[in-house]
Amino acid sequence: MNYNNSGIGSGSRTSSRTFEFGRTYVVRPKGKHQATIVWLHGLGDKGSSWAQLLETLPLTNIKWICPTAPSRPVALFGGFPCTAWFDVGEISEEGPDDVEGLDASAAHVANLLSTEPADIKVGVGGFSMGAAIALYSATCRTLGQYGNGNPYQVNLSAVVGLSGWLPCSRTLRSRMERSYDAVRRAASLPILLCHGSADDVVAHNHGEKSAQALNSVGFRNLVFRTYNGMGHYTIPEETREVCTWLTTKLGLEGS
């Protein structure tokens, strides 16, 4: 595993805010490099936490890129600053969406993947708030643009969301209905969503509703898994499911 610091050029500049992303950790493939996945941590965490876990997985053909979110005031914590991919006041379908922050983080992910070789399949995954960015990236990919209208140009091959939710779900249907190409791309994008039934941070109901919202607008290649008794964390059973699913969907060879 190695890492680098993001410089000024790594910040995503928008009309009113500049986001400086933290340290990025990279887990190199132990076998033939076939796929690269950006994996995003949850609220208040950092990239190194997940890099250490991902390094132990039996997925020797995957390169993992684990960035660290910018530190910013978070409304959910009364404005207290912590690492966050976007601002959030409440975790629900009814809360306001920080489209500016969502776009900045999705663009950072796309930028990290944009330099991968053409023959390498790319994907994005994450936990909790990181899963929210992964799902937001999936919608940007299918729509061909970010929330601000700028073009999204990364061809994602797989998306994984653990214990997360779908941002901007209220406007997704109307945006999807304007584009036949978006519906076609949605139908072919593999998505795996996993959630614990005892999650007391992001309720299982939010994860389930997110899966239903995606499925209803054309994301047909979607699997939603429930883990009975699991809280807001991961367990070996879930990790094995992710490994098996990625191996199949990305067509990974054995080491």
Q: Residues 199, 204, 206, 210: which is the catalytic one?
A: 199
59 vs 158: CA distance, rounded Å: 15
238 vs 45: CA distance, rounded Å: 20
Widest distance between CA atoms in the chain: 48
Report angle CA 207, 99, 179 to the nearest 5 degrees: 80
Q: Residues 128, 137, 157, 210: which is the catalytic one?
A: 128
Q: Does the annotation count 204 as an active-site position?
A: no
Q: Residues 33, 48, 197, 232: which is the catalytic one?
A: 232
The first and second tokens of residue 156, run together, are 């994602």
Q: Does the annotation count 103 as an active-site position?
A: no
Residue with the two structure tokens 């966050």: 84
Cα dihedral across residues 77, 102, 136, 213: positive or negative: positive
The answer to whether 108 touches 67, Cβ cutoff 8 Å, is: yes
- CB-CB neighbours of 139 under 10 Å: 30
> Long-range contacts made by residues 51-55, C-beta under 8 angstroms, separation at least 24?
51/1, 51/25, 51/26, 51/27, 52/1, 53/234, 53/239, 54/27, 55/1, 55/27
Report angle CA 202, 138, 219 to the nearest 5 degrees: 90
Give me the phi and psi of 201, to 5 degrees please: -110, -55
Tell which residue, 64, 57, 66, 56, has the closest CA to residue 35.
64
Catalytic residue annotation: 128, 199, 232
